[in-house]
Amino acid sequence: MCAVSVPQGQQPTSGTGSMRAAVFERPGLISLQERPIPTCGPTDAIVRVTMTTICGTDVHILRGEYPVAPGRIIGHEPVGVIQEIGSAVTGYEVGDRVLVGAITPCGTCFFCQHGTGAQCSGHADEWEMIGGWRLGNSADGVQADFFRVPYAQANLAKIPDGLSDEQCVLLADIASTGISAAESADVQIGDSVAVFAQGPIGLCATAGARLKGASLIIGIDAIEKRLNISREMGANEVIDFTQEDPVAAIKRLTGGRGVDVAIEALGLQQTFEWCLEATRPGGVVSSLGVYGGKLEIPVEPFIYGIGDKDIKTTLCPGGKARMHTLMSLVSTGRLDLSKLISHRFKLDDIEDAYELFSNQRDGVVKVAIIP
Ligand SMILES: [Zn+2]
Ligand SMILES: [Zn+2]
């Protein structure tokens, strides 16, 4: 993965000492290593991480299913404290608690100015897809003691008093991503919404459907614990797809019509097809999954392309305004993700955390990593 250039951030103003960091070495190996503390350029900030987590995308990186450069520090979901601020960044102080989104848009490029900050090209001459995903992808990430925030003015979201690290850490990616599925589908008050499957992102999509005012929300998974959390996050019906055909069940629950919106939150051909089949003519398939290999659009469930079905895709919205919006949902009690953190690890034990999370052992949903 080639780096997205950050021309204004190239002049180091500091950066001494070393830190611990989880580094992608090669497919199959992420290890904790000693690395230099990053240097702070004029438009950057250096944040001391107080909590992070592991994402399903990090597992794709570990398995070699999503390419990042060997030697890259990974991780893209940070809560921390400002350690140093670039000379061009205003309105913050060292010691401020901040949440930084997984996506760090520059705020000024073509894509940012057109409302698609996740596809940000920064100041690079050439744009590339999903260029806004820098942390733990095209730049060093946050599973470390410290990380560098690019375009800090656009990306440091101060955490209001009263919100804990655990209440905020899942907002950086899974909440922003999951909720965005319901927003992209433009879920209307009273809509019916099915969410395939109920992993961390799917559970947040279920919460998003409730926030958008859906009436019937159907959570689909095969793990009882996840179906139980699904009900707590807003589902009023759950389907175990190993026990019954989910499309038939959805048709039964919607008077034979199909749902207004089906959300794909897994990234498999099968769940994508189920979404198409379960959506009524004129409905929306809102796709979040990262599909490995080839994805085919089967023509019959797509009603031969003339059924007025929309397929929407969304990459996690980032930037500080998005993070403030999500934190306001938490602080007003409209969104509670505390049930999703099932395990806690010290940074020193992050390799164990990867082992547990990537093999889905011990009923894990999300892990908190504490440096
Ligand atoms: Zn992620
Ligand atoms: Zn941009």
127-175: per-residue pLDDT in tens?
A: 677 889 999 999 999 999 999 999 999 999 999 999 999 999 999 999 9
Say how far apart CA 23 and CA 344 lie, in whole Å: 20
pTM: 0.93
**Spatial CA neighbour of 4 closest among 116, 105, 154:** 105
What's the gap in Å between 94 CA and the centre of ligand 1?
27
Residues of the chain with pLDDT under 50: 1-13
pLDDT score recorded for residue 6: 36
Ligand 2 ion local residues (Cβ < 5 A): 105-106, 109, 112, 120
pLDDT score recorded for residue 321: 97
What's the gap in Å between 321 CA and the centre of ligand 2?
14
pLDDT score recorded for residue 328: 98
pLDDT score recorded for residue 48: 98
Asked if 368 and 169 count as a contact pair (C-beta separation under 8 A), the reply is yes
Query: Cis peptide leading into 197, omega within 30 of 0?
Result: yes
What's the gap in Å between 174 CA and the centre of ligand 1?
6
What's the gap in Å between 108 CA and the centre of ligand 2?
5
pLDDT score recorded for residue 123: 72
- Identify the nearest ligand to the CA of 76 by its number: 1
Asked if 39 and 106 count as a contact pair (C-beta separation under 8 A), the reply is no
What's the gap in Å between 117 CA and the centre of ligand 2?
6
**Spatial CA neighbour of 295 closest among 261, 315, 266:** 266
pLDDT score recorded for residue 83: 98
Asked if 196 and 259 count as a contact pair (C-beta separation under 8 A), the reply is no
What's the gap in Å between 15 CA and the centre of ligand 2?
26
- Identify the nearest ligand to the CA of 135 by its number: 1
* Half-sphere exposure of residue 269: CA atoms within 13 angstroms, side-chain side: 7
Say how far apart CA 76 and CA 173 lie, in whole Å: 8
What's the gap in Å between 283 CA and the centre of ligand 1?
27
- Buried b / exposed e along 123-149 (16+ C-beta atoms within 10 A): bbeeeeeebbbbbbbbbbbbbbbbbbb
**Spatial CA neighbour of 268 closest among 296, 230, 242, 226:** 296
What's the gap in Å between 185 CA and the centre of ligand 2?
24
Question: Terminus-to-terminus CA distance in the chain, angstroms?
Answer: 27
Say how far apart CA 201 and CA 179 lie, in whole Å: 8
Q: 292: how many CB neighbours lie within 10 A of its CB?
A: 13
